Structure 1
């Protein structure tokens, strides 16, 4: 019987330094979204920059559609943001020839309109350059300032494993702040066992959880089995900030030295597979290494192929930008920026074992 466990994955920096609590209050978790493009100030689409407090993204989108007397399909956003937090993000509104709404008059508890601007194109999912996080960790049990500062410096240099966060696998926060994990993975196990999930939303979450879990397995396996940033012949290396990749060849010493230097600078990144149909993009030694890890969970791989997902790649390591910390008594405020699609919890797990404050209820990715 397949049993997919949440977070059995290898740490890069030696595990947590202490226990702490996050999201004790709304202002303890802030996210600021930066788009991957500059709006051009003209067109049929209105982009609305919103600060929301204690609200999920979909709920705000529904309220905007209702206010503008528009179908919900006319409202888009680049990414979902945490509910139990203060977050700023952009929403896109397509008017479709209707008279433009004065969005600055929109009022909703927990929402503040920062600005509006016109754009020629729809705001699409994933159109995010980065997310900046400000996270307060409270109730730290054994705060060693020197150790914390040393860990942050190490993360700045070496990055963290680019794991999908536990939110992807389903989290229910109990009243005492403890976390029940893996609801989406339980659904994913049903897919692997050939059971049908009729609810489209639940099925989508199960597929996402299954593929993300397998990716985390590949990353954990690589970190535990190989030296940091070790290259294998045939590795698929991505260009930083790009979805394109090239195949590394070990047989050219000059090229190997140059590639190793580019790895150190962060110009290129080693990738691991997001499993699906077709052959692995890696070759040679790297393909053999990845296939061996895949064979450990052949049922999962077969299921993702059956679901007709395509082979893709994602970087093994996540490099954190603008990382800083403010320490006081038994708390610390972390500030850092991450590329789109990366998880703040993957940074936190390299520093602390965190539980969520008792006022938070459900965290969604």
Structure 2
């Protein structure tokens, strides 16, 4: 039996979906990161404006580290961008006083350096104003332009649920389940989810996963695609020690934190789904912890550009401020429904090597500068949709509102892993 997928809130716009297909190619999904501030022009870091195609942000960072002869941790970025996309974003690289000129392209032009300068410090996660999306939706309904325009008008006026998109849960839709197994100390289960065949049909590493399930670790390692992947690290450690716990600790702390984040995201989505169904997600109720609606950031204040408030939801952890009353009960129920307790997450803190664990996230986000136009393609009628979202927001959540839930909820699990 396959693990269940994460929850997503129902659509909030009062229109039918336009249907269609999104992300038929990387060029159909274009992301432009909006910087919070320009580079300083001097300092011990390189600032690089990079365009990557069909490559994850972490893979691009690894390529930059190798090309510039630095440690992976010396390469920093403000946010993760979609892999199956053409994405432009900034990276910083600590190089000290070395006279370094970055290469113009890497990995058969999958990574291109468009601009570079010097700056005085590395980027921090979340240090961006927002992201601009230009998305092509193919094979849509005949009246799609009118429907999409109406949907985007509603989203611009009222905002959208600030849910986590399917990318957070991985191409195989299992990251949150790996996080849950880690939280419960079920090391073998976590390893089986990471290395086994669940939801891996069509992946190029399926033969390696089949070898793992047969117990042939040497064959699994030989068949695993080259590169410093979590799967390869875990397999090699398991062959050395035959200990699932040690094999998982061989993963980087960044990767382990990502599984924890996916688990927190799944519980958050479950809570937000409940509140959208109840129509209690836009305005705070007694007992809620309110915060500004997630919106674009302004460098002058390094804060939200407007102060409209909404309820927040839980990114569960022992250090998270707790809601009270009915909202607090709903949040506790979401954690209980995931089969988890606060003590599970407390014990996970040492595994993933984090300090304070737990935060709040607004339930509502703004949608800015939205537009849509009709485009004729070789596949027939299409729409080009453009909009800008705050840091940490997922364009696939807006796509669900435009296209319909069935068109977006399943990740593209047939795409090969990078």
Counterpart check, 1:304 vs 2:358: no
Normalising by structure 2, what TM-score? 0.70
1:210-229 paired onto structure 2 within 5 Å: 210-227=263-280, 229=282
Partner of 1:161: 161
1:92-103 counterparts in 2 under 5 A? 92-97=92-97, 99-103=98-102
> What CA distance in whole angstroms lies between the structure 2 residues aligned with 1:186 and 1:279?
21
- Of 334-343 and 323-332, deviating more is 323-332
For 1:361, the equivalent position in structure 2 comes to 415
How far apart, CA to CA, are the structure 1 residues paired with 2:100 and 2:372?
42
Cα drift, residue 279 of structure 1? 6.5
User: By how many angstroms is 1:100 displaced?
Assistant: 1.8
After the TM superposition, which residues 1-365 of structure 1 pair with which residues of structure 2 at under 5 Å, given as runs?
A: 4-13=4-13, 17-97=17-97, 99-103=98-102, 109-141=109-141, 143-172=143-172, 182-191=173-182, 193-196=184-187, 197=190, 198-199=247-248, 200-201=251-252, 203-227=256-280, 229-240=282-293, 267-278=308-319, 280-297=321-338, 299=340, 301-308=342-349, 310-328=357-375, 330-352=381-403, 353-354=406-407, 361-362=415-416
Deviations 1:14-43 (A, max 9, x none): 586132111222221111112222322111
CA contact (8 A) 2:137 2:383 kept: yes
Tell me: CA distance 1:268–1:358, structure 2 relative to 1, closer, same or farther (3 Å): closer
Query: In 2, Cα distance between the equivalents of 1:51 and 1:65?
Result: 16
Matched positions, count: 332
Q: Mean alpha-carbon deviation: is it higher for 142-151 or for 162-171?
A: 142-151
Distance in 1 between residues matched to 2:258 and 2:115, nearest whole Å: 32
Q: Deviations over 1:71-106 (max 9, x none)?
A: 333222222222222111111111123x22122655
The structural deviation recorded for 1:236 is 1.2
Tell me the TM-score normalised to structure 1 length: 0.80
Check whether the contact 1:50–1:91 (CA below 8 A) recurs between aligned residues: yes
Bigger mean CA offset, 342-351 vs 201-210: 201-210
- Per-residue Cα deviation, 1:296-342 (whole angstroms, up to 9, x for no partner): 44525543233246331100011111111112352111111111111
C-alpha displacement of 1:123: 1.8
Q: In 2, Cα distance between the equivalents of 1:15 and 1:357?
A: 23
CA gap 1:147/1:71 in 2 versus in 1, 3 angstroms: closer
Q: Compared with structure 1, are the counterparts of its residues 226 and 56 closer, same or farther at alpha carbon in structure 2 (3 Å cutoff)?
A: closer
Deviates more, 1:126-135 or 1:57-66: 57-66
* Alignment CA distance shift 1:169-1:318 (3 Å): same
Question: Structure 1 residues 62, 287: closer, same or farther in 2, change over 3 A?
Answer: closer
Asked whether the equivalents of residues 22 and 357 of structure 1 are also in contact (C-alpha less than 8 Å), the reply is no
Cα distance change, pair 348–336 in 1 and its aligned pair in 2 (3 A): same
Shift of 1:66: 2.8
Q: Which moved more, 1:103-112 or 1:143-152?
A: 103-112
* Higher relative contact order structure (alpha carbons within 8 Å, sequence separation ≥ 6): 1
Aligned 8 A contact 2:76 2:91 in 1: yes
Preserved CA contact (<8 Å) 1:19 1:354 = yes
Say whether the 8 Å CA contact 2:138–2:382 is kept in structure 1: yes
Q: What is the alpha-carbon root mean square deviation over aligned residues?
A: 3.1
Structure 1 stretches lacking a partner, 5+ long: 173-181, 243-264
Secondary structure, aligned partner of 2:340:
helix
What per-residue deviation string (whole Å, max 9, x for no partner) do you get for residues 195-245 of structure 1? 024433564343222110000111111111244634311321113569xxx
In structure 2, distance between residues paired with 1:71 and 1:333: 40
Contact 1:23 1:360 in 2 (8 A): no
C-alpha distance 105-154 of structure 1, shift in aligned 2 (>3 A): closer
Looking at structure 2, the residues matched to 300 and 342 of structure 1 have their Cα atoms a distance apart, in angstroms, of 27
Distance 1:191 1:162 in 2: 26
Structure 2's unaligned 5+ residue stretches are 191-246, 296-305, 350-355
